[in-house]
Amino acid sequence: MDGFEFLLAYEMLSGELKKETQIFMLSSTLDPNDITRAKRINTSKLF
């Protein structure tokens, strides 16, 4: 499971489980597609 797969699985959890959690994504990628993809995922606070 990569980070994007994790975020998609996390999105399926109930709001009660997620309400106190913040996710910050850290990456060394320079791929513009990865950066755009990460910004589109609402779970991630920062990229």
pLDDT confidence of residue 33: 93
pLDDT confidence of residue 44: 55
**Low-confidence residues of the chain: pLDDT under 50:** 47
Counting the structural domains of the chain, the total is 1
- Strand runs labelled E in 1-47: none
Is 45 a domain residue? no
pLDDT confidence of residue 18: 84
Residue linked to tokens 């309400």? 19
pTM over 0.75: no
Is 47 a domain residue? no
pLDDT confidence of residue 31: 93
Structural domain for 36, as ranges: 3-40
pLDDT confidence of residue 42: 67
Q: Cα torsion at 8, 12, 16, 19 (round to 10°)?
A: 20
Is 29 a domain residue? yes
Q: Residue 31 to residues 12, 24, 34, 38: CA-CA distances in angstroms?
A: 26, 18, 5, 11
Is 46 a domain residue? no
pLDDT confidence of residue 43: 67
Is 23 a domain residue? yes
